[in-house]
Each structure stands twice: as structure tokens, then as C-alpha cells.
Structure 1
């Protein structure tokens, strides 16, 4: 069983890329944020998924741990791609998306980080009517991508998994998908 973590900061198109990849590979998709949202909703902590990053960090950590336990049970018999974020920007600073207690539970074999140019990400966020996104300028987006990359490498140090970085530029979806399919083959 392979457990692949696919991540990108909001606006990189990581979920769009993943949806196309899943048409070409035999993996089950689990969205970490959806599992966390389900748990937080069941507890009456949030109304929307975008409310998650505004929770008290201690509550977020507890929900992360419960989600890891739930996902571990879901991933026992299949190759799995977990759609998540390496780092979450919160009002109190960056929070690791997969802290050590989550990594120990998941035991990922591969990390794939999807990136794009900061200007592309900013435009995608501004034109996405399906989500309520915080406004960030390109320097803040670049910082978040740097934090995500550093965090992914830290996860690799802790787990022994490899990290691949895939660019998803505007009009480059097919290239990003092809690169990830090759990585998973």
C-alpha cells in the first residue's frame, strides 16, 4: 500500500490536478480537510470549511489527530492519495498540516507538492467564486509556498518519504498531470 500526500497552498490547483491524475491511476482519494471538516462539524465547531483555519490552534491539533486516525483506518487496503496542505496560514502563524503525531499515524511513502507562480495563484484566488479566500499579495504567497516546501522536506526527514515538486502553471494542467502520473507509476 502506498500513501501519497499531495499538497499545495490554496490556489495552486492541486485539487484540480489531482482530479485529473485520479482518472489515470489506481488510487483512492482522501481529502484530509474534508475529514477534518466532518469531525469539526460533528462537534459543532464550524459551519463552513473555510472556518477551519480560524479555529484555535489547540482545537485544530485535536481535530488533525482525530482525522489521522480516521484516515489510517480508511487507507488499510488501498493505494491512497491524501489531498491536504503542508502548512496552514492561521491568524496566529503557520500551522503544520501534518504534525508528527499525524505523520506517525499515516506513514506516507511519498510527498508531491504542487506549486505555481504567485501571480497565477493570486489571480486564481480572486476569480474563485466557490471559496472565501483571504486576500494575499504575491510576496505573502511566495512566503507561504516557501514554508510549504520547507515543511514538506521536514516531513520527508521524519518519514523517509521522498518529495517531488510539480509546477502547475496556467495552461499547464496536462504537463502537471503527466508528471505526477509518471511519479506514481
Structure 2
């Protein structure tokens, strides 16, 4: 897994081109174009599976076919509310079949990810019972964008394990 890009997501490069069309304020929140090539999505999933303690499987909070990124070994009392997708207690993100992700990000990173064109807030964040840190991270279209997606994924993971530490830190 590449460690070239920092966990500080405020210093990422801007995404090339226009944002992909999405369903915007609608739920389900889907990306409608500019999907990941299969090899790029497969590599993203492989990198997620390398994170210590991550278990993958069907998402408990998304459409069928979405691959959950779960941390079941972190005790519930040690989980930060803003670091997980609710109502799941251990899913911090999921990868959709077309390569985009829904995951949680550090509150300080959210404005930069949106401004740089990498993400948009999930519409569910308008509801008070959900954290406002859930975003759609657009599907990486090539190796360069895969590196950015990996950096965001690693940051989301680091936030999720900050209190619980399932095995070790981020590689």
C-alpha cells in the first residue's frame, strides 16, 4: 500500500476535470458516471483488506453488492460516533461496485476534500442522528486517483481505530 500521500488530507492535489454526476441530495446516494476500471477497484479493495483488523463483507447500511469495511474487534465503547456509518456499529466505510466509497472523514478534512473535488457530503448527514462526517469519495479513475483514494481510506481508518487500536497503526 502506498504511503506517499499524507494522512493530512488538506494538502491533497485537486482532482482533474469536473465532478462526476451523482444523485446529489437523494438517497440512495450514487455516483452516476466516471466509474473505476475493474482493476482499479480491485486494487482499492485489496489495499483496504491490508489495513490491520479490517474485515470485508456485505454492507449492513448500503445497497446489495457494496463491500463493507468493518472493524469488529474494536469494543463498541471505544468507537467514536463520528467515525462509523450508522446504524452499523463497526462499518467505517464501504466500496460500491462502481468504485466510489462512502466513508467517514475527519471533520477538519471535509472542506478540503469537497473544495479539491474529491468528495461530497452524504445527504444523510442532514439528519441529526447521523454524523456530519460521512462523504461520498468519488471513484478513482486511474492509478494517480487510486493513491488519493488510498490516502483518504487510510485517514478514515486511522480515525476509526484512534480509540480502539484493533492490532496496530496505519502501515
Bin for the TM-score computed over the shorter chain: under 0.3
Comparing both structures, which one devotes a greater share of its residues to helix? Answer: 1
Larger relative contact order (Cα-Cα within 8 Å, sequence gap ≥ 6) = 1
Comparing both structures, which one devotes a greater share of its residues to strand? Answer: 1
Which has more radius of gyration?
Answer: 1
User: If the length of structure 1 is used for normalisation, what is the TM-score?
Assistant: 0.25
